[in-house]
């Protein structure tokens, strides 16, 4: 099966990028899709090295980028040299721990995988007793499912930072602005994490939309701070941009990292970054993937050891047919028609929705300011929000303890006990805090 890299929220959009793109990445002009063909950035290799060998490496290849924390270097052949020969030479060097192509996230044809799903309505009755004056709250059916109201009696997440490694965030969104920290852009190598896609803004709002401010909805952990990191964009992203984002988040005070992204080809660079985060006490949550009805290829980083892999549920507590499954599943969470923040300015998805209203699934509503979207991209930040509540109440808990607690307290669904479709069951915020 061809490798794929995906933003796991049912879509990714190609729009004009900003800033200077990562070497080798050129903007594309596709429309809405939910998968990306995973090839590699032409002429580039990621090299893991053992300390003190960068100078030696520089004599054999051109250094395009260097992450001394992870001990990973981005290289290209010297003029006239062959990439495959360089790769073979480096792989045989005992001072090199790994050599791999710089996995490229590249957009394929438009509307490749916008799929219909008739699993029922996501509307719910008004959430009596939850409090607040957020007008979209009654449509956020995931809150009563995961017992947000009861959990907030313990904590709303104050003092915890969640990093959203994604397409960036709308920095001026009134339902997010006061909860945003200064982030970064590892895709274009600058300090501007503004979202020109929409995916990252939607994910961030699921975690931490502001509570009781008279607009929009509310996040699972509305008092956490969001660290926005733009690692993916209109031309996609790379293993370098994602691994650097994970490392940067770890070194800037985050307690939880949300990865609503994935690939069917494992990247040792990204795996190295995840190990670094876990070793530093950072909880890593990742989306399982949206290809369960298309061969169910194994997804990374969801299947990396220690990661909390999250599948998607519909309003009837059934796993969605497109949610990926496997023995690495930890828990499941609502992932169908989830209302959250969306850019206050036009991005390609809003334009696409205007031009092709019949192409979207019935529960997906795309508009300025707020949108309803479906995917494991939406399920993952719900669990990231619960993990943030758990870390706020128990800051000493290790990533493994957080994972174990979420699984132990999940509501069992599907076959009795653990199973590859539901994992341990639906994550429950209040039970996790008990």
Q: Which residue is catalytic, options 209, 377, 384, 428? A: 377
Provide the pLDDT for residue 56.
80
Instruction: Name every residue whose Cβ is closer than 8 Å to that of residue 354 and which is 6 or more positions away in sequence.
Output: none
Provide the pLDDT for residue 72.
96
pLDDT at 6 over 50: no
Q: Is the model more confident about 9 or about 28?
A: 9
Provide the pLDDT for residue 149.
87
pLDDT grade, residue 286 (50/70/90)? very high
Q: Is 35 a catalytic residue?
A: no
| Closest of 402, 412, 398, 405 to residue 431, by C-alpha | 405
Q: Which residue is catalytic, options 34, 134, 166, 428? A: 166
Provide the pLDDT for residue 129.
53
Cis peptide before 190 (omega within 30 of 0): no
Q: Please name the CATH architecture into which domain 137-433 falls.
A: 3-Layer(aba) Sandwich (3.40)
Residue with tokens 């334009």: 351
pLDDT at 175 over 90: yes
Residue with tokens 């309803």: 372
- Domain range annotation of the chain: 137-433
pLDDT at 20 over 90: no
| Closest of 393, 413, 355, 12 to residue 203, by C-alpha | 12
Provide the pLDDT for residue 52.
65
As a whole number of angstroms, the distance between CA 310 and CA 276 comes to 21
- Residues 125-167 pLDDT 10s: 444 455 678 999 989 999 999 999 899 999 999 999 999 999 9
Q: Is the model more confident about 373 or about 15?
A: 373
As a whole number of angstroms, the distance between CA 305 and CA 1 comes to 23
Dihedral, 162, 168, 169, 171 alpha carbons, nearest 10: 110
Q: Which residue is catalytic, options 142, 199, 202, 421? A: 199
Provide the pLDDT for residue 19.
32
- Residue 47 φ then ψ, to 5°: -125, 120
CA atoms within 13 A on the CB side of 361: 26
Q: What is the mean pLDDT of residues 325-353?
A: 92
Q: Is 241 a catalytic residue?
A: no
- Residues 293-327 pLDDT 10s: 889 999 999 999 999 999 999 999 999 999 999 99
Provide the pLDDT for residue 362.
76
263 DSSP β-pair partners: 5, 300
Provide the pLDDT for residue 338.
94
Q: What is the mean pLDDT of residues 212-219?
A: 94
- Residues 61-100 pLDDT 10s: 999 999 999 999 999 999 999 999 999 999 999 889 999 9
Q: Is 377 a catalytic residue?
A: yes
Lowest mean pLDDT among 47-61, 264-278, 334-348, 371-385: 47-61
pLDDT at 383 over 80: yes
pLDDT grade, residue 182 (50/70/90)? very high
Residue with tokens 């997804």: 299
């Amino acid at each position: 099966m061809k490798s794929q890299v995906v933003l796991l929220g049912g879509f990714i959009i190609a729009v004009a990028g900003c800033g200077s793109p990562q070497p080798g990445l050129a903007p594309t002009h596709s429309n809405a899709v939910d998968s990306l063909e995973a090839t590699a950035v032409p002429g580039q290799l990621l090299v893991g090295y053992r300390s003190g060998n960068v100078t030696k490496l520089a004599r054999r290849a051109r250094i395009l980028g260097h992450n001394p924390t992870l001990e990973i270097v981005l290289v290209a052949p010297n003029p006239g040299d062959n990439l495959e020969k360089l790769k073979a030479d480096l792989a045989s060097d005992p001072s090199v721990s790994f050599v791999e192509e710089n996995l490229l996230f590249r957009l394929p044809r438009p509307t490749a995988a916008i799929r219909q799903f008739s699993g029922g309505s996501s509307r719910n009755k008004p959430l009596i007793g939850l409090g607040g004056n957020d007008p979209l709250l009654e449509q956020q059916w995931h809150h009563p499912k995961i017992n947000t109201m009861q959990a907030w009696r313990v904590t709303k997440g104050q003092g915890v930072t969640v990093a959203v490694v994604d397409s960036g965030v709308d920095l001026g969104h009134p339902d997010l602005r006061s909860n945003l920290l200064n982030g970064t852009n590892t895709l274009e190598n600058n300090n501007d994490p503004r979202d020109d896609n929409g995916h990252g803004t939607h994910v961030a709002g699921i975690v931490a939309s502001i509570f009781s401010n008279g607009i929009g909805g509310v996040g699972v952990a509305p008092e956490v701070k969001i660290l926005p990191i733009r690692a993916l964009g209109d031309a996609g992203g790379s293993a370098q941009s994602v691994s650097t984002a994970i490392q940067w988040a770890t070194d800037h005070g985050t307690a939880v990292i949300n990865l609503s992204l994935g690939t069917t080809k494992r990247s040792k660079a990204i795996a190295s970054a995840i190990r670094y985060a876990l070793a530093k006490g950072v909880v890593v949550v990742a989306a399982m993937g949206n290809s369960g009805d298309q061969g169910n290829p194994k997804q990374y980083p969801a299947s990396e050891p220690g990661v909390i892999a999250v599948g998607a549920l519909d309003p009837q507590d059934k796993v969605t047919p497109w949610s990926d499954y496997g023995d690495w599943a930890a828990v499941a969470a609502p992932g169908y028609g989830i209302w959250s923040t969306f850019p206050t300015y036009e991005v390609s998805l809003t334009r696409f929705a205007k031009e092709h209203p019949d192409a979207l699934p019935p529960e997906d509503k795309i508009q300025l300011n707020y949108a309803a979207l479906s995917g494991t991209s939406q399920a993952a930040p719900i669990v990231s929000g619960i993990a943030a509540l758990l870390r706020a109440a128990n800051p000493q808990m290790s990533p493994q303890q957080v994972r174990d607690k979420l699984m132990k307290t999940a509501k069992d669904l599907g076959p009795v006990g653990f199973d590859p479709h539901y994992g341990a069951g639906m994550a429950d915020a209040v039970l996790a805090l008990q």
